[in-house]
Amino acid sequence: MAYGNPPRQLGSVLKDVISSMGLDSRMARGRVLAAWEDIAGDRIGREVQKSWVRDRKLFLRIKSPVWRQELHLNRNSWCRRLNEELEADQIDEIVFR
C-alpha cells in the first residue's frame, strides 16, 4: 500500500508544526536567552535579574551598577559572541539596564 507523503526527518516536521502554531518568534527568543546564559556563565548569570528580547535587541536588567557598567563597556563584544553562538545575526544590540 502506497502513501501520499514520503517519510520526513523529525526536525523538519517539528519546524512545520512550530511554524503552523505561530511559535517561531518565541522559539527564537528562547534560543537567544539560552545562548546568552551559555556565553555569560554562572557568575554573570547571577547578576541578571530579568532578561527579554524585543526588536532584535537583548535587554538584561543587571543587579549591580558596577557589573552593568562593565558589561555595557563590552556590549559590542558580547553581541558578536552571542551571534556567533547562535550561528546567525539575530541580535543587533544588547542593552544592559
Q: What is the CATH number of the domain that holds 32?
A: 3.30.300
68 belongs to a structural domain = yes
Mean pLDDT, each 10-residue run in order, the chain (97 residues): 77 78 80 96 95 96 96 97 94 97
The whole-number pLDDT of residue 32 equals 96
> Under 8 Å CB-to-CB from 35, ≥6 apart: which residues?
82, 85, 86
In a domain, 5, yes or no: no
| Domain annotation covers residue 6 | no
Q: How many domains does the chain have?
A: 1
Q: Does residue 1 sit within a domain?
A: no
**In-domain check, residue 90:** yes
Domain range for 20:
11-96
